[in-house]
Amino acid sequence: MAATNSASITVSGDLSVQYLLRIGDTCLIQAQRLGEWSGHAPLVEEDIALSNTALDLIGQARGVLTRAGQIEARQGGQGHDEDQLAFRRDERDYRNLTIVELPRGDFAATMLRTAMLATFFKLLWQRLADSADAELAAIAGKAVKEARYHQEHAADWVVRLGDGTPESTARMKAAIDWLWPYTAEIFESDAVDEHAAAEHLGPRWSDLQDDWRAELAAIAAEAGLALPADRPFRSTGKAGRHSEHLGYILAEMQHLQRAFPGGVW
Amino acid sequence: MSAAAGRPKAGSAPPGGSGEVQDASVGAPVREWPLWEVFVRSKAGLDHKHCGSLHAADAKLAIQLARDVYTRRQEGVSVWVVRSDQIVASDPGDKAAFFDPMADKVYRHPTFYELPKSVDHM
């Protein structure tokens, strides 16, 4: 188990490590947000479905963060384990997409965000299944099945609500207007992406944009919704510059490990 | 689909707002979703077995929710759902007339045969 120490850690700036942190952190924070529905979903069956999705994402985050720590060690860094990476990094060292740290919103926003993320992750895991890193490829091979189901379930809800009552349609439209600008960040490639592509670790995320847009457009069309026009706004969570919301999530998520370092069940 | 959206308090849905659950205090959904019975086949070659029920708006959602509610621990390889109101059941009041006469007809049971050990699931 982790050393009994609650001090913050800093993580290697190695580009492979950063690439993995973006994936693992996005899964982890999305899971934390979905977990907020536990006991609060509109019906008990959906409550279980949302918790299932969150647990799948936590499993993916564990695998990817563990691998990030192993690569960090291999590059001569300190080599943190999954718990240290999850519970002892500060906000600026988190590399998740901003979209997952936004408040969970209503059920429509939750389902739309889940559909957007799951579509992206499905495409990403499909490519990562061919990664030159065998560990990552193995994680991806399992995760792609989970992402496929998350996408199907959430996209069905986007269609049901978008093509539902005036109330549900209005909520889904509001959710799209709110969340759409944050999706641009996903496909902004940088040196981390170039490195990953050159090393055959994984695709540039920008390479996934066309497929992602096509799938989202199909879902929106079925739901009778229009996708908003692109705007110049760019969120910057992948670079560690987060919205005001992430600090609160980490405070809640990390409190126990910070207060009782190395505590286990 | 009116049940799905719930009934919010006026103005309670700021996108990105506090995310309060929309209708906890305002009341139940307008209309209950229909009940579905769930049958899971635990492995190829076995029968689908009834394992419970759930509420869902339609067949597609019923299958998805059955997957989430009843097959989370690798219980199954196949799921059936059927609307509970489509099942025709015997009347509990007919129990005596339907079932009691069979009790003393032991010859109707194939218990006098020895089954080979290699025959499973009979």
- pLDDT digit string (tens) for A207-218? 999 999 999 999
Looking at residue B15, what is its pLDDT? Answer: 53
User: Of B1, B16, B69, which has the smallest distance from its Cβ to A45's Cβ?
Assistant: B69
Residue B16 pLDDT > 80: no
- pLDDT digit string (tens) for A79-126? 899 999 999 999 999 999 999 999 999 999 999 999 999 999 999 999
Looking at residue B93, what is its pLDDT? Answer: 87
Strand partners, B83: B36
Of chain A, the percentage scoring pLDDT greater than 70 comes to: 98
Contact A165 B16 (CB under 8 A): no
- How large is the ipTM? 0.80
Looking at residue B32, what is its pLDDT? Answer: 81
| Identity at A114, one-letter amino acid code | T
CB pairs < 8 Å spanning A and B: 85
Give the mean model confidence (pLDDT) for residues A39-50: 93
Cα A11 off chain centre by: 19
Question: What mean pLDDT is reported for chain A?
Answer: 95
Q: Answer whether A94 touches B (CB < 8 Å).
A: no
- Chain A residue closest in CA terms to B27: A42
Residue A233 pLDDT > 80: yes
Contact B15 A104 (CB under 8 A): no
- Chain B residue closest in CA terms to A178: B15
Residue A245 pLDDT > 50: yes
Report how far residue A113's alpha carbon sits from residue A29's, in angstroms, rounded to the nearest whole number. Answer: 12
Give the mean model confidence (pLDDT) for residues B19-33: 54
* Chain B CB contacts of A146 below 8 Å: none
Domains of chain A with bracketed CATH: 15-259 (1.20.1260.10)
Q: Answer whether B67 touches A (CB < 8 Å).
A: yes
SS3 content of chain B, % helix, strand, coil (to 5): 25, 15, 55
What is the model's pTM?
A: 0.84
Contact A49 B15 (CB under 8 A): no
Contact A164 B5 (CB under 8 A): yes
CA distance B12 to chain A (A): 9
Helix (H) or strand (E) holding B82: strand B78-83
- Chain A residue closest in CA terms to B5: A168
> Taking CA B22 as the corner, what is the angle to CA B17 and CA B25, rounded to the nearest 5 degrees?
130
Helix (H) or strand (E) holding B50: strand B48-55
Q: Contact, A123 vs A212, CB < 8 A?
A: yes
Of chain B, the percentage scoring pLDDT greater than 90 comes to: 35
User: Of B1, B33, B65, which has the smallest distance from its Cβ to A49's Cβ?
Assistant: B65
- For chain B, what is the radius of gyration of the CA atoms? 23
Give the mean model confidence (pLDDT) for residues A195-199: 98
Contact B16 A149 (CB under 8 A): no
